[in-house]
């Protein structure tokens, strides 16, 4: 049994990460970095709520898949919060997320063992 339980509302978003191509992953990373950099340069009172940062950044990457990207963003935001609360390394947390995805009952969302390495690289 996995140590991490992924709530049903985030399973689809996390699972969609494995289907992203490398360019999209780089674009998402760049968008997230840009939002964080911009927020660090602004007045603390003007900083966007943390739960909106990922959604703002990631939905800016694609105007054609906004709902799909919103699901991914919300899932990433939730994962970030859980990882921070658990105080584990990113690498260890990615392992735990992968274990949890491999245990899902839904064949559409379940992480196939053959895709584990690729998924982990994207999530990192």
Quick one: CA torsion of 54, 22, 89, 93, rounded to 10 degrees?
A: 80
- Residue 68 resides in a domain: yes
The number of domains in the chain is 1
Residue located via tokens 């999209």 = 24
List the pLDDT tens digit at each of the 124 positions of the chain.
Answer: 457 899 999 999 999 999 999 988 888 888 777 766 665 555 544 444 555 666 666 666 666 677 888 888 889 889 988 998 888 899 999 999 999 999 999 999 999 999 999 999 999 9
**Domain assignment of residue 22, given as a range:** 9-123
Establish if 18 belongs to a structural domain.
yes
Q: What pTM value is reported for the model?
A: 0.78
Are the CB atoms for 101 and 14 separated by under 8 Å? yes
Measured between alpha carbons, how far is 5 from 21 in angstroms, rounded to an integer? 26
The answer as to whether 4 is a domain residue is no
**Is residue 1 domain-resident?**
no
Encoding tokens for residue 81? Answer: 């919060």
Is 2 inside a domain boundary?
A: no
Closest C-alpha to 120, from 34, 21, 9, 17: 17
Position 13 in a domain: yes
């Amino acid at each position: 049994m996995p140590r991490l339980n992924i709530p049903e509302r985030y399973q689809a978003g996390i699972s969609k990460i494995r289907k992203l191509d490398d360019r999209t992953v780089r674009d998402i990373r760049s968008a997230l970095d840009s939002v964080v950099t911009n927020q660090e340069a602004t007045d603390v009172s003007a900083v966007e709520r943390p739960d909106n940062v990922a959604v703002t950044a990631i939905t800016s990457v694609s105007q054609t898949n906004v709902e799909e990207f919103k699901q991914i963003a919300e899932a990433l935001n939730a994962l970030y919060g859980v990882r921070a609360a658990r105080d584990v390394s990113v690498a260890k947390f990615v392992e735990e997320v992968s274990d949890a995805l491999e245990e899902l009952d839904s064949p559409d969302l379940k992480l196939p063992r053959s895709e584990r390495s690729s998924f982990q690289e994207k999530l990192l």
